[in-house]
Every structure is written in structure tokens, then in C-alpha cells.
A and B are shown apart, each in its own frame.
Chain A
Amino acid sequence: MVQHFRTAYHIKTHEVHLFQDFNRWPDEPFEEMDGTLAVQQYIQQQIRKDPSNIDVILTPPDSQDEGVWKYEHLRQFCMELNGLAVRLQYECHPETCTQMTATEQWIFLCAAHKAPKECPAIDYTRHTLDGAACLLNSNKYFPSRYPWSVCYRIFSHAHFHHTAIFDQFEAETHLCRRFTVFVMKYNLMSKDNIIVPILEENNENSTVSGTNQGESDA
């Protein structure tokens, strides 16, 4: 069974530039990939080539089942969001971020508990990712619409409260942009909920993030 190391390593902090060579295999055509992990392998290969080339990453191969495609991308998002969570752990403490908020307007309750709970942002992040990991790896409930907007809240919190981390992370992975394009492309989220001004830079002014934020929340 041909099983390549499929993980793309695009996280390059200023400290560690170690795994440029990690998983640096020659590209393999999607047609030659086999097994159940072919789609994941293909997505990771595209990301590894150029994480910023979102259009390429999000373009499914021919005759690719859309459900599987979305599912595999969601898995990839959740996996890479772990990287954001790792960074948030250094800065996003329960004392400073007592609630999961992006803007002041909304407080998100953590749905991982039996009774939804007002978890600190870092816990919310972790719980969401843990729950998503279980859900996405479950062979019973798949695919589900549930994780999209919830996962997106991690981006929004990071963007509005830990901007430096978010920016650095986004510069490396372009994950939030990819995510946004993805959900909009497949109409997985209401446009009103997309509050991180990441696509506006192309479409509108690059300085409207503050006002835009209020608008989208409203």
C-alpha cells in the first residue's frame, strides 16, 4: 500500500524552521493515489506546495464527490486549527479571556458539555477541537454541518483578541482565508457569520475591519 506521509508542514515559526524538508516528496497525481486516504493526501499535497494558493487547494479533482471533499477539508481545517490552539495556549489564558468572544456582542457557549457552558476562550477552543476531532473521526455521524461555524469562532476570537498570533498564523497557513473561501464556496455558513475581514481586503477597503465587524454582527 502506497502510503505517503501526507502531512504538509507550513507552520514555520520564527524559532523553528525545521521541517521544510519534512514530507517533501515529489508530487503524485491524484489518479495514482489510492486507498481511503487519497483525498486527504491530495489536499495535503496541494497545501504543502503553496499554502497561499487557496484556489488550487480548494479545487477538487475531477469527479470528486462533493461530500467527501468537504469532509476532508473540514478535517484538514480542524487539524491545522490545532496549531492555532497551540499558540493561543501561550497567550489566551482563562484569566484574560474568560469568555469565548470575538466581538463584544456575542458570547458563545461551549456546546461540548451536556448543558452548554460559558467556557473561557481557550477551553472553548480546545473543547471545540476535541469534539470536532471525535465527531469527524466518528464513523457514525458524518458529514455534519455542525462544526463549520463553531470552528470559525476560533478564527474570530484569535483575530480579535490575539491579533499577533492570528496574523502570524495566517501568514503561514492562510488557513482562515482558505476556510472562509471554502465555506462561502459551498455555502456552508451564513455570510453574516463570517466576521473576520479576510476577504474584504480583496473586495473592499483594507481598513474596514473595525466597522465591518460591527456590521456583520448586526
Chain B
Amino acid sequence: MISSQQINDFGVKLGNMIKQEVGNIQMKQTEDYRMDDNSSVNQNGQIGTNSNNNKSDDGGQRIQYSIPGILHFIQHEWARFEMERSQWEVDKAELNARIAFLQGERKGQENLKHDLIRRIKMLEYALKQERAKYHQLKYGTELQQGDMNPPTFDEPGVPEVNVDSEAPFTSVSNISWKQGRQILRQYLQEIGYTDTIIDVRSNRVRTLLGLNNNNNVTSDDQQQSSNMNGEDPTGKNKTFDVQGRKTPSKKFSETMIMETEEAVMANFEFLTSQNDVDLDEDEDDDDDMNEDLDDVTDMEDMRTTKRKPKNLVMSDTDDVDAEAEEVYNELNLLTATEDTNSHPPAGLDPAHWTGGVDRKKALGSEEEPLDSNLGLGELAQLTVNNEADTSYDQVEGTKEPYRKTWNAKYTLRSHFDPVRALAFHPAEPVLITASDDNTLKLWNLQKTVAAKKSASLDVEPLYTFRSHVGPVLSLAMSATGEQCYSGGADGKIRCWTIPAANIDPYDSYDPGVHSGCLEGHTDAVWGLTIHSQCLQLLSCSADGTVKLWSPAAQSPRPTLLKSYASEQGMYL
């Protein structure tokens, strides 16, 4: 259909048109664009030959905006849009990375919080243990403390603990640390837990503990570790992060990725070349790190903290790179906490709960007794202060059983001779005393006779029961508190109706108070017991008998009181 001649003609025309267009349409063109333009023009030229052939012939010269020019413009615009779109995508990726980073950071802080709470509980528990130990050493007895159970942690669904049940962390201490490192890395990946977050976390720990020294080193190390993370193919977020930070002005995603890759590669080379040199720095870093962790976990052991990192590094540098050191510390932390979680602490030694198994080996067991004494610092003072409180009961119970813990509240002075017996009213603060001076006296502990100048602080008797001829030896009060019975050396049991507790001490004499006399014993009545329900009275006497009385039937005057006595003739 279309001859080669035509095509050639069209090509010449097109060439002219392009020249015109270049003059007409003002555009900023880079060489890159020109390349693209040429290619696109070629494409469009072919399209144009299919569809716009006639039009371009007719209106090519007349109209200022020629079809090829428009096409070119459209092509250019399309390219620009494409470019912008890719730019947006890059931005979007950046923002996504940012979001992921922040989420990871948040998670990290939550984990940090839980860890810190756990450590606080652990410390409290350890403090209790220490107290108990101290107390046992000091007093040789067990200290009774309220809560001696190891702290239980309610984990609010933190992935740390719920991670892969097939790899339980309780056994981590038994696995070699390499395996542990693998597991840790896995789990860090799972929760999007980048090294940056670890750094944030350790920084946070530092600030929480007020250890702001070596901040520069830390930031450097942060940078380093983030760079190191670049080599990790799983650290995608990080890669994006680096890219976003370092090449915000680059236009093309391809070039950006290329550049990032280059940077990563460069870093990688830098790392591999510098690895040996880094070790020293990392040792310092690990010093800090360890200090953090140890401060958190075993505050009581400052001395070994100084020593520990050295030990670790010395023993581990052979096959552990610097990064692994960090991870290892983190792992130690975890195993330590998990250890205390899983095992109820068998002993009191602090090394058991502070460090993992490896650490214990590194420390050597002979240091343990010293640890608790040396490093406590202010905590030790705390303990001592609390010790005073907690040991108070104990001391009171065992050491000073004879310490006077009472004060005289009332003094009941009025008897002339020894008091043989006393009986309390079942309900009211009233009591009756029986004495060798032949009398009984009624006292109301709430009614001190203040008006009486002679005994301002004392309780004075409300009533004096006079009827016994001879010492009153025994006393019993009825369950109602209305009657009482007293046995005397004269062998008689006197029945009394107890006056009201608010009686005037110098009221007129009421013969009815002495409501009866139970005669039958021929020698001193040494004991009286009353039945709480059926009002029967049991008396024992020096005459060798025990008599059961029923004093309920009261005749007007005591001399001829009729009473029921069941003489058993018991010999005492």
C-alpha cells in the first residue's frame, strides 16, 4: 500500500516538522530527554503514518501547532508524568518504610517497658531473698515475709514470649549461643525489630538509668550498626531508610536503587576491611552495653560488671563478630529473664537469676558470696532500713519475749489484803474481786470515781460486798452477769445480786444484795464453777466434798436459804 518512496518523503517531511517544532515549542530539554524524544518520535511517526497521514499533509504548514508537535508534546508530558509517578512511588515507599520503622520502634519500646517491669520484679524478689538470707545469717531464724514467691509476669501477649513454641526459650541457656543467636535474629525479624531499635532501646535504658556517658560513641556505633545492618538482606526497612535519608534529591528510582546498592556495597567492603579494627571500639560499646544490662539485671554486682565484658570478649572474640556480641548480650538478657521465669529459684545466689549459664561460668562461683556484700550501695542501705521493720516482729517474737509490752491502765486499790479471785462481767466492763480482807468489791472500769480526791487516777470500788466472816477464796459470776457466788474460808458460799454498774458508791445499804448463803461445807470453799445454762453451782471444799447447788430458788434472807445439794463425798 505504501511505497518506500512515500515513506522516504514522509520521513523528510517529518524531519522538517521536527525542526520546526523544536523552534516552536519551547522546552527545557536534557540530553536524556532528547534520547527519549527521538525514540518516541520514531514510534509516533509510525503511528502517525497509520492515522494522521492526510492531516499532517493538509494542515502542516498552516497551523502553528502541527500534529507532530502536539504528539511530541504529549509524549513529553507522558514521560514527565511517568517520571513523577515513579517519584511518588519512591516517596510512598519511603513513607511506608518510615511507618514500619516507627511501628518497630514502638514495639521495641513496649518490649523495653515489659522487660524493665520484669527486671524490677526480679530485683524486688532478689531483695527479698537477700533480706531473708541476711536475716538468717544474723538471727539464725527464718524470716517471715509476706510474699516469698518468685515474681510471676503477666505477659500481655508480647511476641517475645509467645514466639515459636517449637523453640522454647527456657532451654536456650542450654543451647550453644550460636543457636541462640539464630533464634534471636529470627525473632527480631519477625517483629520487625531492627538493630536501630535495639540501639534505641539500649539508649533508653541508659537514659532511664541516668547513664548518659559515651553518648558520642553510642551514636557512632548506632550509625555503624545501621550500616552493618545494611549487609543483612532481611533489613529491607533499613535499606529504604538509608535510601530515603541519603538520596532525597535523586530523581530516578533506578539510579537511587543503584546508588543504594553501591552504598551498601561500599559499606560492606568498609565493614569487612574494618572488622578487625572495630573490635576494640565494639568492646567499648559492649562495655557500655553490658553496663546497661548489668545495671538493670544485677545491680548488686558492680565489681563483676567491670570484669564481665572483658571475660566475655576474651572468650568470645575468636568466633564472634562485633555484632554478634550485641546480640549475645541481648540474648543473655533474655535467657536470664526466661530462666527466672521458668525455674523457681533453687538457691539464693544472685548469679542464678542475673546471668545465663555462660556468664556464671565466666564469673566463677567463688565471687558470689562477695557480690551481695560489695555492690549494693544505696540498695544496701535500703535493705538495712527495711530490715529494721521486717525484723521487728521476729525480734519481738523470739529475742525479747520478756520485753514489757503492756502498761497499767487501771489500778484497783481498795483491798486490805490479798486478792484471791476475780470475775469479769460477761458484757460490761465490770469486775468483782474477792479478797482475804473478807470482802468482795465491785469495780466499773469505765467509771472512775474522779470526784474522790484520794485517787484521781485509780478506779474506786462501786460496792463492797460484806458478809463473809473470813477470807473470800473463790468467785464465780453467772452468765447473765446478774448474780455472783463467792466461797469463803468459813465454808459458806454467799450469793450476791450484783448491783447496777452505775450505782452510787455511797448509796444506802441494800440488804437484798446479799441474796443468799449456801451452807453445807464444813471447811474452806476453794473453788466454784457455775453452769452457764441451768444455773447450777459446783463447789469444792477443803472438807473433802464437792457439792452441786441450785441457787436459783432464793429465799428472802440468806440464813435459811433452801438449796439443793447433791453430796458426792468426793475426796480431793
Residues from 137 to 153 in B contacting A, C-beta threshold 8 Å: none
Q: How far is the CB of B411 from chain A (nearest CB, A)?
A: 8
Beta-carbon contact of B413 and A138 below 8 Å? yes
Does B470 belong to the interface (CB within 8 Å)? yes
Instruction: Kindly state whether residue A30 has any CB partner on chain B within 8 Å.
Output: no
How many angstroms from the CA of A59 to the CA of B559 in the assembled complex? Answer: 40
Decide: A112 near B509, CB < 8 A? Known: A18-B489, A126-B464, A133-B464: no
Which of B436, B455, B491, B509 contacts A140 (CB under 8 A)? Answer: B455
Stretch from A1-9, A150-158, A195-203, A206-214 forming part of the interface with B? A1-9
Known: A5-B418, A16-B469, A126-B464. A113 touches B506 (CB 8 A): yes
Q: Which of A18, A19, A79 has the most CB of B within 10 A?
A: A18
> A16 contacts B491, CB within 8 Å?
yes
Question: Contacts of A137 on B, CB cut-off 8 Å?
Answer: 413-416, 455
B37 located at the interface, meaning its Cβ lies under 8 Å from any Cβ of chain A in the complex: no
- Cα distance A218–B20 when bound, in Å? 168
What 0/1 readout, one digit per residue, does chain A (50-88) give for beta carbons within 8 Å of chain B? 000000000000000000000000011011001101100
Q: In the complex, what residues of B have CB within 8 A of residue A19's CB?
A: 470-471, 489-490, 524
A176 within 8 A of B: no
- Decide yes or no whether A100 CB sits under 8 A from chain B: no
* Contact size range, B: 35 or more
Min Cβ gap B135→A in Å is 39
User: In the complex, how many angstroms separate the beta carbon of A164 from the nearest chain B beta carbon?
Assistant: 16
> In the complex, are the beta carbons of A130 and B454 less than 8 A apart?
no
Closest chain B residue to A79, Cβ basis: B416
Separation of A78 and B417 alpha carbons in the complex (Å): 11
Residues of A within 8 A of B522 (CB): 18
- Give every chain B residue within 8 A of A139 (Cβ-Cβ): 413
**What total of A-B pairs shows CB separation below 8 Å?**
116
Q: How far is the CB of A151 from chain B (nearest CB, A)?
A: 13
Say if the beta carbon of B452 comes within 8 Å of chain A.
yes
Contact with B along A92-110 (1 / 0, CB 8 A): 0110000000000000001
* Interface residue ranges of B419-438 to A (CB < 8 Å): 436-438
User: Which A residues are in CB contact (< 8 Å) with B414?
Assistant: 130, 133-134, 137
A79-B52 Cα distance, complex, nearest whole Å: 148
B454's partner among A6, A22, A94, A135 (CB-CB below 8 A) is A135
Interface pair B509/A122, CB less than 8 Å apart: yes
Q: How far is the CA of A126 from the CA of B454 in the complex (A)?
A: 18
Cβ-based interface call for A123 (8 A): yes
A138 near B417: Cβ-Cβ < 8 Å: no
**Inside 8 A of B466's CB, which chain A residues have their CB?**
82, 85-86, 89, 126
Q: Identify A18's interface contact among B438, B455, B490, B506, CB under 8 A.
A: B490
Closest chain A residue to B462, Cβ basis? A130
Partner of A89, one of B456, B458, B509: B509
A112 to B507, CA, bound (A): 10
Q: Out of B452, B453, B469, B489, which one reaches A86, CB within 8 Å? A: B469
B464 & A134 in contact (Cβ 8 Å cutoff): no
- Could you tell me the distance in whole angstroms from the C-beta of B412 to the nearest C-beta in chain A? 9
B467 within 8 A of A: yes
A183 CB-CB contact with B under 8 Å: no
**Within 8 Å of chain A (Cβ to Cβ): is B461?**
yes
B508 at the interface (CB under 8 A from A): yes
Q: Please indicate the chain B residues that have their CB under 8 angstroms from the CB of A113 in the complex.
A: 506
Q: Is the CB of A22 within 8 A of B489?
A: yes
Residue in B closest to A3 when the chains form the complex, CB atoms: B418
A39 sits at the interface (CB 8 A) = no
Contacts of B451 in A (CB 8 A): 114
New A-B contacts (6) at CB < 8 Å, excluding given A134-B452, A140-B455: A9-B470, A18-B524, A82-B466, A89-B467, A123-B506, A137-B414
15 A-B pairs within 8 Å (CB atoms) are namely A5-B436, A7-B417, A16-B470, A18-B491, A22-B524, A83-B469, A123-B506, A126-B509, A133-B416, A133-B461, A134-B414, A135-B454, A136-B416, A139-B413, A140-B454
